[in-house]
Amino acid sequence: MCSETVHLPIVKTAVWPDEAATQRFAAALAASPELRNAFIELRGDLGAGKTTLVRHLLRALGVQGRIKSPTYAVVESYELPDLAVWHFDFYRFSDPQEWEDAGFRDIFASPGLKLAEWPDKAAGHLPIADLVVQLALQDDTARQVTLTAQTLTGLLLIQDVDSIVPTPTHGQEAISLENLPTPSASRASA
Ligand SMILES: Nc1ncnc2c1ncn2[C@@H]1O[C@H](COP(=O)(O)OP(=O)(O)O)[C@@H](O)[C@H]1O
Ligand SMILES: [Mg+2]
Tell me: the pLDDT tens digits for 24-74? 999 999 999 999 999 999 999 999 999 999 999 999 999 999 999 998 899
Left if phi > 0, otherwise alpha if psi is -120 to 50, otherwise beta: which for 44? left
Tell me the domain boundaries of the chain.
10-189
CATH class, range 10-189: alpha beta
Predicted TM-score (pTM) above 0.85: yes
CB atoms within 10 A of CB 137: 15
Q: Is the CB of 50 under 6 A from ligand 1?
A: yes
- Please tell me the distance from the alpha carbon of residue 187 to that of residue 190, in angstroms, as a whole number: 5
Report helix angle 152-164 to 19-30, nearest 10. Answer: 120
The best mutation among 15, 16, 52, 144 to test binding of ligand 1, ranked by most ligand atoms within 8 Å of the C-beta, falls on: 52
What pLDDT tens digit does each residue of the chain (190 aa) get?
Answer: 555 688 999 999 999 999 999 999 999 999 999 999 999 999 999 999 999 999 999 999 999 999 999 988 999 999 999 999 999 999 999 888 999 999 999 999 999 999 999 999 999 999 999 999 999 999 999 999 999 999 999 999 999 999 988 765 554 444 445 445 455 444 544 4
Q: Which atom of ligand 1 is nearest to the CA of 21?
A: 1
